[in-house]
Structure 1
């Protein structure tokens, strides 16, 4: 057990956000009283659970401008990404068996794409990005000329916070006849998502990045997508046959409740986070003038800072901040691996420079006093690392 100090400050919202108390309240009944299987159609317990799941599906759909029957519940964005990538690649016609992914995708997209190469014989091409983390659009257009059937590019990067011009990318892919998927796990909490405006065919969502519970996510599958993803699992036929297994009612209810809250909070959360981010960055740079921001300074997640502290090893800095400040070196899904971040090297950092970058993620419950205290502690810890 590692008890948290009372004054601990959580700045790792890009890894996971805390459960909103209102969401916990909505889930409570389905953890205790309404425990029926939502697929049991013969009795009232099943009816109540089933109605709760469908209400949650409608709430998730509303948060992204979709229809409820276009939402498939999954165990999280990782599973949603796997269904999208592997499911589509399995169904692609022979003349369209080339796929494109950006060099800074989450491993939950990159690894299924490479697996599809071995499993289904597709050709995989990595699209380069600039120093700002934005996909090279001329290179994308050039690559689309060669019979590409599927493209996956994330909306907001989980490490450096860069926001891709998804509307332009999706439109370009659609004109070329390629199915387009985006991983929007980091975007749900801060973007006014609308699948029609974005022109996406498939979109992955995560609950625990948006103040909902862990263990639940969703895949949006457009009703008019030319090729539907083929199922990867079998047995039960739930979720229109795409994702079999008993749907977890309490988690669905929590995800739906989180999405309902977002509908009224995203705009104000976005403005407040942007102000807090600017305040924190300013105070850090004042104390450590050599600190530099990684990624696009404007087109980025409003609560994300990816900062390089020259000549300071990120892992050592973070260790020195424990247990007071929670932040990270990058994706929680790949932490502990010896290799440098593929995202950071893709935007032009050397291996040494990549190991000097920390990720800070602000969230709904971050306060101004949290930001001020964290800035002072981080500046002091950087100085200690330099002097050691």
Structure 2
């Protein structure tokens, strides 16, 4: 009896230590896929319960939601973005569920990022809706572990061989007329195919001035091409010594753009002064935009269609030739055409009226033009309207 107690205590301590070693902190991202919010919420709850049953610590939803602000578009979908969420929540694992419900089953794909190794793995199966809890827990048990999924068949993939039926006496079966083909039951595509077809698992509810729409990306709304017309003013804060005439000008510009990934938008631009010193500029540039109001709501990503950003340009600045100019002491002179380099930078504000129509403004409009007789430095602002398609 004396020897049994130490042995039992050692065995119990080993078991408890092993359980503690296997427990990890897991950040569960909001489930995606399909259009059934109830199905996603049910699967999300079963994922949380399964992790807890396996001894893992699940990060609170409020912490996960706060960590999404560190992700550029608010929807982690790459190794670096999973790592960002893991770091922000101090979680060793980041888990994502992709849900596609059908009539009696639900296709569940679980994707797991392991922070210490940088490994991303996933498992998928058709889950019976009445057995969702135990079957999701079985998936988690082979996915959320240091060694990963490993090789070989997964537990639910092992085929069960039914017992061979006893041979029936040879009898001539009655003729049975062929059954009429019934209507085929449509099946939901896997999440990857749904995403490729239209990104249904990655939409944001954007509040425009005229309507509320579910779109992606939040800025371009699935309309990457843009055409804008802008009008504004500029004022020369620095001019060559002896410059005459007004330092201020009214201007107009036209630009064509294309938004990549919904946040980076290169463009080409043509501009001209409407009044004041004559000038024309042709340049290329780009702007980087973000949507500060985008957040995770009860039904997924949502926010106001209000975007901020920074833009920069570079190109050619042309001053047309002019005759009969009045100089100092009433001297008349001519100026030949001048062409030089220009670059500019500005802050950008964009308000969406609808996915295809937006108001935009550029503030600051700091422009630098080096010339042979000296440099020009302008500040100003522009505003206008843009179309997207």
Bigger radius of gyration among the two: 2
Normalised to the residue count of structure 1, the TM-score between the two structures is: 0.23
Q: Would you tell me which structure has more helix in proportion to its own residues?
A: 1
Higher relative contact order (CA 8 A, sep 6+): 1
Where is the strand percentage greater, Structure 1 or Structure 2? Answer: 2
